[in-house]
């Protein structure tokens, strides 16, 4: 999966950044951010592959708030282990919870609980778009300069799965309709795979009638 290190503002560049979806390899992420002030950690949703490095990063960046939408709050804090276990069970991969349990036992509580369509307090150039469907609390982050961090809502030639906790294909379709209202030239940076654009994905979905 893709982890993004994002400038909080154009003016500050990479001197002040936030981290999006730290799925794993905390040491590598720390190496890439060691010359920056980390202002926050944002999860586009709560699934295990997007938050595996959170515990280690919170130890390093104690003042960086962990942010997640209220719809996926169960993936954090005291309920994190049981919620992830439920997903592993649905995936038929319950054995993985034993291998990864250290990542989810004593998982940090969310510091900032995001709601619908607000801006990030530490990065006001970025606006939250609530895009439920892949999970109840899935979000995308949009910058008016034409950049979208789409999490697992929208991929290059694909969309996120809807068979895990709280997933809904109907809600995902409505979320895609919202994203397709963005300017066509918007560059899309998904949670997995390569980059794409709103225009390209609108055309793909029209051809596939998704």
DSSP category for residue 89: H
pLDDT tens per residue, range 12-60: 899 999 999 999 999 999 999 999 999 999 999 999 999 999 999 999 9
| Degrees, nearest 5: CA angle 166-171-173 | 135
pLDDT score, position 105: 81
Percent of the chain with pLDDT over 90: 81
Residue 210 has pLDDT above 60, yes or no: no
Residue % of the chain over a pLDDT of 70 = 99
pTM over 0.75: yes
pLDDT of residue 209: 67
| Average pLDDT taken over every residue of the chain | 94
Report whether pLDDT(208) > 80: no
Over residues 112-142, the pLDDT tens digits come to 999 988 999 999 999 999 999 999 999 999 9
Q: In this model, does residue 156 exceed pLDDT 90? A: yes
Tell me the pLDDT tens digit for each residue of 168-207.
Answer: 999 999 999 999 999 999 999 999 999 999 999 999 988 7
Q: For 69-115, what is each residue's pLDDT tens digit?
A: 999 999 999 999 999 888 988 888 877 777 777 777 889 999 999 99
Return the number of other C-beta atoms located less than 10 Å from residue 180's C-beta: 16
Burial class (CB in 10 A: 0-12, 13-18, 19+), 20: buried
């Amino acid at each position: 999966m893709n982890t993004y290190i994002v400038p909080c503002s154009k003016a500050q560049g990479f001197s002040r950044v936030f981290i999006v979806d730290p799925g794993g390899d905390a040491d590598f992420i720390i190496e890439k951010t060691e010359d920056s002030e980390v202002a926050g950690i944002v999860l586009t949703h709560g699934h295990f592959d997007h938050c595996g490095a959170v515990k280690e990063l919170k130890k390093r960046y104690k003042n960086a708030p962990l942010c997640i939408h209220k719809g996926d709050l169960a993936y954090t804090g005291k309920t994190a282990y049981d919620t992830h276990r439920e997903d592993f069970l649905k995936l038929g991969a319950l054995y993985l919870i034993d291998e990864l349990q250290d990542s989810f036992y004593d998982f940090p509580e969310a510091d900032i609980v995001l709601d619908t369509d607000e801006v990030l307090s530490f990065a006001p150039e970025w606006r939250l778009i609530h895009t439920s469907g892949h999970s109840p609390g899935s979000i995308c982050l949009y910058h008016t300069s034409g950049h979208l961090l789409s999490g697992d809502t929208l991929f290059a030639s694909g969309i996120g799965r809807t068979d895990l906790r709280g997933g809904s294909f109907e809600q995902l379709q409505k979320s895609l309709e919202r994203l397709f209202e963005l300017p066509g030239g918007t560059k899309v940076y998904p949670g997995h795979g390569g980059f794409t654009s709103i225009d390209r994905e609108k055309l793909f979905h029209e051809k596939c009638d998704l």
